[in-house]
């Protein structure tokens, strides 16, 4: 099994002016696990969310092009995925125990994402990681 999987999400319909409509059910139909928790996450500009690993599986859909997922594989190589490349929505699944972090690369606006999880989580479930150096200037 891949540690991180990326699935394109297709719009329900589009208009000539660029408006596209996506059904939330389309996102959820791609999720390869039983969703136990749904969250809407807002991340301020320049901030990092996560920088951890845990035993649950998570799936993310980013709103806007400014979010990046950084994750470390079993060979200790860190990968960077733009979460909404060219405004094409993707569903990104992060499997259990994969160190990961999300950064909002914008300088002036908060970014949001949908988060789906296979279980609830307690602070004891989370192991802090340094996928992104939080002290590095951005």
Q: Token pair for residue 74? A: 């079993």
The C-alpha atoms of residue 34 and residue 43 are separated, in whole angstroms, by 25
Cβ neighbours, 10 Å, residue 22 = 15
DSSP secondary structure letters along 51-62: EEE-SS-EEEEE
pTM: 0.92
Beta strands 67-72; 100-104: pairing state: antiparallel
Strand partners, 69: 81, 102
pLDDT, tens digit only, all 138 positions of the chain: 679 999 998 889 999 998 989 888 888 999 999 999 999 999 999 999 999 999 999 999 998 789 999 999 999 999 999 998 877 789 999 999 999 999 999 999 999 999 999 999 999 999 999 999 877 766
Burial of 104 (0-12, 13-18, 19+ CB in 10 A): buried
Q: Cα(122)–Cα(131) distance, rounded to whole angstroms?
A: 20
Q: What CATH number was assigned to the domain covering residues 4-128?
A: 2.60.120.10
Indicate the domain borders of the chain: 4-128
Cβ contact 53:109 at 8 Å? no
- Given this model, what pLDDT does residue 135 score? 75
Q: Residue 85's pLDDT is what?
A: 81
What local confidence, expressed as pLDDT, does residue 10 receive?
A: 87
Q: What is the reported pLDDT for 61?
A: 95
């Amino acid at each position: 099994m891949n540690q991180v999987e990326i699935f394109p999400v297709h719009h329900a319909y589009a208009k000539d002016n660029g408006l596209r409509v996506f059904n939330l059910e389309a996102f959820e139909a791609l999720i390869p696990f039983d969703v136990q928790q749904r969250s809407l996450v807002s991340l301020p500009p320049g901030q990092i969310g996560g920088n951890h690993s845990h035993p649950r599986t998570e799936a993310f859909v980013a709103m806007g092009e400014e979010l990046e997922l950084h994750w470390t594989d079993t060979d200790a190589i860190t990968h960077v995925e733009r979460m909404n490349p060219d405004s094409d929505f993707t569903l990104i699944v992060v499997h259990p125990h994969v160190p990961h972090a999300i950064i909002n690369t914008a300088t002036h606006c908060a970014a949001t994402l949908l988060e789906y999880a296979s279980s609830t989580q307690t602070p004891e479930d989370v192991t802090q990681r340094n996928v992104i150096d939080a002290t590095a200037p951005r």
